[in-house]
Amino acid sequence: MLLRTKLLIILLLLFPVHGAWAKELNLKCENKDGRMDIIIDLKKKTMTNAHGLSFSNIRITSGLFSGEVPQFLIDQVNRENIAAGGTYQIETQTFKIYRDNGSFERITKGLGSLKTETIYGNCEQTSSKKKF
């Protein structure tokens, strides 16, 4: 029991609680489709991209950041896809970033009976040397 306590103290000293001192996190997330910069304000509980576009339905917990692309942007992408002769329509697109390891998911749910696609990637913090 004493050994476990010592090990736990050592781990806490080497790996402090992620994001405990940060108010704003700047993340660089990459997957097979490219890169996206995401800014998370822990105090205001907001999540935006580098262009200032705010995500909706934000969820910030000790293990997860998540948010959805706003509906007006999804509608715009769907209109552009139809104009270009495409048939795939997006219902929702959710971004999830797992704080323990920086893994990233972009979940795109197709409209109606269309398939759901999940793309995986990784994020790293660019605003400071502290892990998130």
Choose between 7 and 103: higher pLDDT: 103
Torsion angle in degrees (nearest 10) through CA of 122, 127, 128, 131: -30
Q: Nearest 5°: phi and psi at 80?
A: -65, -35
Whether 77 is in a domain gets the answer yes
Question: Residue 12 belongs to what H/E stretch?
Answer: helix 2-14
Percent of the chain with pLDDT over 90: 54
> In this predicted model, what pLDDT tens digit does every residue of 15-49 receive, in sequence order?
444 444 558 889 999 989 889 899 999 889 999 98
**Is there a domain that residue 95 lies in?**
yes
pTM: 0.72
Report the alpha-carbon distance of residue 102 to residue 81 in Å, rounded.
31
Rounded to whole angstroms, the Cα distance separating 66 from 49 reads 13
pLDDT confidence of residue 86 = 87
What tokens were used for 36? 């996206």
Number of domains in the chain: 1
Residue 43 sits in a domain whose CATH number is 2.40.128
**Boundaries of domain holding 35:** 2-125
